[in-house]
A and B are shown apart, each in its own frame.
Chain A
């Protein structure tokens, strides 16, 4: 079946511009996660959505980062006023609800801020 999809696969932007990254989870997966993978920091959690509950935003590095999930499916991660340190691969994952569930990752969006 279809896995997690993300778009775009690559994004190059100029410092100070806003960017939007999209994630389409596996059908039926009510839990959706955003992570960031950079050379110096490894894989870091950003934000988590579960059904209609309020998202867990505890991993967002600054208020320039936000995310929403419409209709319990597609999610968009928005980074405002991008900085060079935002350059990284942004990964989306989805899972069935509940603890201990395996998370399935998309291919990621590589963001480069010039």
Chain B
């Protein structure tokens, strides 16, 4: 059974204080690892897809990396508008559905 674990559950940062969110996964036949951002009362917003170990993708202050066992979402010099829940999900095996982790709730204080 595919398993995805995110840590920490919650993270408080001061504006400008860089940090990383972790997503550990156990799957058979990874087809893609996805990062989403979710704001309260809204659906998840797609950020990145990573397909193989060693791959990295960047968007503004966010950078996602992937190893064979985990993925990191690095946030550089965060701003209050980066506050949201960040979700990690995997697609594996024969199915196309996503298996999600529990999310990391990020709060950035000005």
Contact = CB atoms under 8 A, between A and B. Distances in A.
Interface of A: 4, 31, 33, 35, 42-45, 48, 50, 56, 58-59, 91, 93, 95, 98-108
Interface of B: 31-32, 34, 36, 41-46, 49, 51, 87, 89, 91, 95-103
Contacts of A56: 95-97
Contact of A108 (B43, B45, B103): B43
Contacts of B98: 33, 35, 43, 45, 103
Q: Is the interface of A mostly helix, strand, loop or mixed?
A: strand
A105 B42 CA distance: 9
Given A100-B31, A105-B43, A42 B100 contact: yes
Contacts of B87: 43
Contact of B43 (A58, A99, A106): A106
B99 A102 contact: no
Among A33, A45, A56, max chain B CB count under 10 A is at A45
The 8 A-B pairs with the shortest beta carbon distances in the complex, nearest first, are A105-B43, A43-B100, A100-B32, A45-B97, A99-B31, A105-B44, A102-B46, A107-B43
30 contacts: A33-B96, A33-B98, A42-B100, A42-B101, A42-B102, A42-B103, A43-B87, A44-B100, A45-B97, A45-B98, A45-B99, A48-B95, A56-B97, A58-B95, A59-B97, A91-B43, A99-B31, A99-B96, A100-B31, A100-B91, A103-B34, A103-B46, A103-B98, A105-B36, A105-B46, A106-B43, A107-B41, A107-B42, A108-B42, A108-B43
Contact of A4 (B36, B41, B43): B43
Nearest to B94: A99
A43 B36 CA distance: 12
A105 B97 contact: no
Given A100-B51, A105-B36, A105-B43, 15 more contacts: A33-B98, A43-B100, A45-B98, A45-B99, A48-B96, A50-B96, A56-B95, A56-B96, A59-B97, A98-B96, A99-B31, A99-B32, A99-B96, A100-B31, A103-B46
